Structure 1
Amino acid sequence: MADPASYRPAPGTIPETPGVYRFRDEHGRVIYVGKAKNLRARLNSYFADHAGLHVRTQNMVTTAASVEWTVVGTEVEALQLEYSWIKEYDPHFNVRYRDDKSYPYLAVTLNEDFPKVTVMRGARRRGVRYFGPYSHAWAIRETVDLLLRVFPVRTCSAGVFKRHGQIGRPCLLGYIGKCSAPCVGRVSQAEHRALAEDFCDFMAGNTGRFLKRLEQEMYAAAEEERFETAARRRDDLKALERALEKQSVVLGDSTDCDVVAFARDQLEAAVQVFYVRGGRIRGQRGWVVDLVEERTTGELVEDFLLQCYGENDAVPREVLVPEEPPDVEAMNRLLSDARGGQVRIRVPRRGDKKDLLGTVEHNARESLRQHRLRRASDLTARSRALQEIQEALGLDQAPLRIECFDVSNLQGTDVVASMVVFEDGLARKSEYRRFTIKTFEGQDDVRSIHEVLTRRFKRYLAESQKAGDLSPEGITGESSEGLLASYGFGDEGDERNGPLDPETGRPRKFAYPPNLVVVDGGPPQVAAAQRALDELGIDDVAVCGLAKRLEEVWLPGEEDPVILPRASEGLYLMQRARDEAHRFAISFHRAKRSKRMTTSELDTVPGLGPARRTALLKHFGSVSRLKEASAEQIAEVPGIGLKTAETIVKALQGGVG
């Protein structure tokens, strides 16, 4: 794991101009590409406070071995260069909008002499008109089947078209009126192309003229008593209306736009896009991506627009987003150049467009929820994950209970740790625990891991030796308080972190040992964890570490890591446990910092120690409420006399009281 300080550029060498930067690993591979209006400010943020970085940003900067940058003149140039480099290098840590499937499009091959209507996936082809994407190919075929009554464009392959031209007989669709049979000369090349162009116009939203024309022809035929023709026009009209019913009307008839929305957590983001053409939703598409940095919604919008529209001439006139990208004018110019016409990115504030954006956001939230549940709730996937971990680590049995530990601090202050539990591959939040590191202050994750593991397993040994199962009712009186205190419980809300026992009000016991302990880190952290278990004489619990750099799994005493396949279920489960432990530790660390800052006003009051400050906050709930209390009310708190209460009032209320 590289120390970011080892390759940090010298002070003053980074320019304060717009530019694009690249992080490279020790082999020279580009692992991350980014852009900035001020290169110095942006790059310094990666090196200033390593502990405060997003967990995956920490992974990126410790994997990197060097950083380089290129100065550009404008924000548009920065966007273009960033897009080019992301496309060229495919960096591992950049947000990548990739599907686990290829969405189908309805395509009309206008580049052929006799255009055909078909379903296409994959890269776009020049001269082909695309509509969609659609969620399912069968949805396209249903629509096409309805429209072929009115626009009998060929749908056959080149081979079938050529063969029927040679034999001089059309295919079945030609006999039933769903193909104009240009293969046998029923229509000319120009007439068939006109049908294909009308088909495209209808799909593009220009529906009114076709419905009006069919209605006029139907009434005209009925007046002339050509009832068979009138009946056919009536059926054609109903077919077009049924096709339109499949596409819900959401905006005005002339509206062409894409509606983009996001749902996110600390580690992942889901994006959904609705494609609106002619006021109707013509298609929908979604992605779920990993987040490498703390990115705002506007920055996610910029990433999405850059990657999905960078070289796409099908950009609509308007893109509706939940938040504008950092430089919306530069992005507008970039997309306008790609489209060859004016493009506008905007945030809808009211009306139908805002309502539609809310619908898309709801779909994004649902997509993210389904993504989380898909792998976690899949029994087969969980079983495979546990089996893969067992085989990779050489365990005697599958690790049905996994405990993962992480340490969090800010420049060596408020050092805390977390323990999360996964049983049968599922998170058991009722078993989570939080620790305040007590023996020292400083940025020493190794000693912190040793302390936390020692305290956790001392408690387990104490309980297991108490008649094999120390029930909550078995802890009573002064001895129980001493036992809790001796293992780090009972002060400042330390491990009062999981649910309390409803009868005793004390923390639930560490009742079960894990099959596997996972620590966030590499060989030093793993060695510290193993040493803690050895000192306690515990030899039936496996230990490993998951290093952020390349997601390597380290075992105690091994010189080389265990490498699990990137897409393996076992690695995914360990990553989930590690990221959950990190999240849980960070939340506890922030709560402690907030509490310390809140009580800072009481620190200056003479005669108030930690116990009295805690008692006051517990009684009044907050410093602001304490400020509103009189000396008599404060004196009601156990341990606070009237003289001390008057001192508190004078300190907090400026002598009023």
Structure 2
Amino acid sequence: MLSASASSGVRVRTPRGTSERALVRNARRNAALLLGRESEDGERERPLSRNEFDEALELQRELGLPTLPRRIRAFDVSTIQGRHTVASMVTFRDGSPFKGEYRRFRIESVAGQDDFASMSEAVGRHAARVQEGEIEPADLIVIDGGVGQLEAARKAAAGTPLERVPFIGLAKRLEEIFLPGRHDSLLLPRRSPAVKLLMRLRDEAHRFAVGYHRLVRTKAARASALDKVPGLGPKRRALLLQKFGSLERIRRQPLDAIASVPGIGVRMAERILREIGTANGVNA
């Protein structure tokens, strides 16, 4: 019947070890999702569009996932030579960003550049929040990277409810998909709906991580220069940044503008300009 409808041969592939009863149960669940009926937990589901359903269904089929992956999370690490290392977690719901479940992590336990340990810390902190019931677990977790990052992430999830969630790694060069326990990668056509979904997710995680890393670097640069000004405490530093917005803008101000900030005065303004100018190779 399927071949006649498609006017071509149709092959039906099923995950190994799947019973007919399980296949029927999955088919009924997927049909309910497409029609917008109640989910198994009694919550009313928004009906999926055809594109959303096709992407999720192909991903489920190709990865052998137990359920349709409606909520997918991705983790990415951003650093420059091991400095100001951060990580991001983004969530897609039905193929679109779900920003209420975005998270940023300032990596605290890793000295120097160690992507595996940094990924482990980020996933471990998320796993703790899942265990405490603070956030719902995803249907699939995507790790930016290869076998090493994937294994680090899975070890961090061990012993928590997160270990029941399927993990995959996604490498940038060829969009290779790495599965736990397999050393060879899975290569799907780049135009396939599943790969397009994973690429959107991975790119969004990268964008979010890089943006946070830039913010952390900028704050560190501001603090390091103003911290060197003798007698300038945190409250007055905060007032300067609140008024002028950035270290570069402070540097461009005339003496009287800086002196007009409450608690600064002329002598401190001279000291500030002298110090931040010297810190950047400019004579104030």
- Asked if TM exceeds 0.5, the reply is yes
Instruction: For 1:559-570, list aligned pairs within 5 A.
Output: 559-570=183-194
What TM-score comes out, normalization by structure 2 length? 0.68
- Counterparts in 2 of 1:646 and 1:555: CA distance versus 1, 3 Å: farther
Equivalent position amino acid for 1:561 in 2: S
Q: Secondary structure at the match of 2:177?
A: strand
TM-score by length of 1: 0.31
Distance (whole Å) between structure 2 residues aligned to residue 461 and residue 545 of structure 1: 23
Q: Who is 1:434 aligned against?
A: 104
Question: Please, which runs of 5 or more residues in structure 2 have no aligned partner?
Answer: 1-47, 276-284
Query: 2:182 & 2:143 partners in 1: Cα distance?
Result: 15
Aligned residues: 222
Which residue of 2 is the match for residue 533 of structure 1?
A: 157
Which residue among 399, 405, 425 is the counterpart of 2:95? 425
Task: Give matches, 1:72-87, under 5 Å.
Answer: none
Secondary structure of 2:162's partner? Answer: coil
Mapped to 2, the partners of 1:543 and 1:605 lie a distance apart of 49
Q: How does 1:378-527 map to 2 (within 5 A)?
A: 379-462=49-132, 464=133, 511-527=135-151
Contact 1:514 1:541 in 2 (8 A): yes
Q: Which residue of 2 aligns with 1:572?
A: 196
Could you tell me how far 1:394 is from its partner in structure 2? 1.8
The aligned counterpart of 1:649 is 269
- 1:301-322: CA deviations, max 9, x gaps? xxxxxxxxxxxxxxxxxxxxxx
Q: Distance in 1 between matches of 2:195 and 2:227?
A: 46
Taking structure 1 as reference, are residues 601 and 404 closer, same or farther at Cα in structure 2, changes over 3 Å only?
Answer: same
State the structure with more CA Rg. Answer: 1
* Aligned: 1:586 with 2:210: yes
Bigger relative contact order, structure 1 or 2, given CA contacts below 8 A and separation 6+?
2
Matches within 5 A, 1:21-36: none
Are 1:605 and 1:647, in contact at CA under 8 Å, matched by a contact in 2? no
Question: Is 1:633–2:257 an aligned residue pair?
Answer: no
8 Å CA contact 1:527, 1:556 repeated in 2 = yes
Superposition pairs of residues 274-289 of structure 1, within 5 angstroms? none
- Conserved 8 A contact 2:226-2:237: no
The Cα shift of 1:518 comes to 0.4
- Residues 629 and 405 of structure 1: is their aligned pair in 2 closer, same or farther, counting only changes over 3 Å? same
* Distance in 1 separating the partners of 2:240 and 2:192: 49
Q: What letter is aligned with 1:386?
A: A
C-alpha RMSD over aligned residues: 2.8
The residue identity in structure 2 corresponding to 1:592 is V
Matched residue of 1:455: which SS? helix
Deviations 1:613-641, CA, capped at 9 Å, x for gaps:
76445643444459734388137xxxxxx
What CA deviation, in whole Å up to 9, does each residue of 1:589-610 have, x standing for no partner?
A: 222223333344303123567x
Does residue 169 of structure 2 align to residue 545 of structure 1?
Answer: yes
Q: Name the aligned partner's letter for residue 587 of structure 1.
A: G
Q: Structure 1 residue 511: deviation in Å? A: 2.7
Contact 2:140–2:166 (CA under 8 A) maintained in structure 1: yes
Displacement after TM superposition at 1:646 (Å): 8.2
Structure 1: gaps (5+ residues): 1-377, 465-509, 636-644
CA distance in 2, matches of 1:614, 1:435: 25
